[in-house]
Structure 1
Amino acid sequence: MQLNHYLNFQGETEAAFNFYKSVFGGEFALMKRYSELPDAQVSGKEKDYILHVSLPINGFTVLMGSDTTDQFCAQTQIPFTKGNNHYISINLDASEQAEAKRLFDALSVNGQIEMPLEKTFWGALYGAFTDQFGVKWMVNCQLEAM
């Protein structure tokens, strides 16, 4: 299991991560845009928003992030708030599916589920929630190579 920081922005992810890259060095492990989504239904300005970016910081830490969209905020009923745009991301491999479910279920007790733990188009079990103490979490159990 690996714990990483996951940051959300609203249209500033690319600029923010280019800045972080200039500070920490290295190369992006992955950068995908909303326009690359199957059946992408985003506004013209949002098609170039970042769906996901990963910047390895060292052998143990990856800084990750994405842009939120107006549609996503409306669906989850969670407005984007600059400064409150941080998640702890729990990353597990395919052999740890049961642990992913256990952690999701245990940590989300009395919290607010943003997205239930379910299989995604990127080949993972993924879910997100805010725990009972207001901490935002993501659980990503990668089942297939990206």
Structure 2
Amino acid sequence: MSIHLIPYLMMPGNGQEVVRFYEQALDAKVLALQTYGEMPQNPDSPLPAQLNDYVGHAHLKIGESELMLSDSTDESNQAGNRVTICIATDDVEKAKKLFHALQQGGQVNHPFEKTFFSPGFGTVTDKFGVTFQIVTEG
């Protein structure tokens, strides 16, 4: 079992520009890039068409480090809260344990659950105001 921390940027709609900039400025390699338009949609609450080209998820490799980012789909994204920490592990039970430990005295932003991209994912802001995304890889 491994655990690693990855900075995660929440952008206000310019995610594709950010990716192109980091490719040039930091010699970043794009490991994955998926727009909201390419992701499975919930038929009960489809996203507005203007968000189709927004980045739903991007994963970059910069030297020996990783960086992830996506475009926010709501108005809560503003300077000061654009960086979260993604904790990635290959073990669902370990991910769940980390999620529950971090939520003590904090706030659950997205409950820990199976998603189309992960067997276990959730987002929590801890009691110190730091937001973590917990993701199970694989």
Shared fold by TM > 0.5? yes
Identity %: 33
> Could you list the runs of 4 or more consecutive aligned residues of structure 1 that deviate by over 6 angstroms after TM superposition?
none
Partner SS state of residue 28, structure 1: strand
Tell me by how many angstroms 1:58 deviates.
2.7
Residues 73-88 of structure 1 aligned to structure 2 (within 5 Å): 79-88=76-85
Output one character per residue of 1:20-66: Cα deviation in whole Å (capped at 9) or x when no partner: 1212213200000000121262112211100000111133x211000
Q: Which residue does the alignment assign to 2:103? A: 108
Aligned pair count reads: 133
- State how far apart, in whole Å, the 1-side matches of 2:89 and 2:103 are: 17
Give TM-score, length-normalised by structure 1. 0.85
CA-based RMSD of the aligned residues comes to 1.4
Asked if the contact 2:106/2:124 (under 8 Å) is kept, the reply is yes
Unaligned segments of structure 1, at least 5 residues: 74-78
Q: Which residue does the alignment assign to 1:89? A: 86
Unaligned segments of structure 2, at least 5 residues: none
Give TM-score, length-normalised by structure 2. 0.89
Asked if the contact 1:9/1:82 (under 8 Å) is kept, the reply is no
Output one character per residue of 1:59-106: Cα deviation in whole Å (capped at 9) or x when no partner: 3x2110000113xx6xxxxx112231111100111xx22211111111
Residues 25-36 of structure 1 aligned to structure 2 (within 5 Å): 25-36=27-38
AA aligned opposite 2:80: G
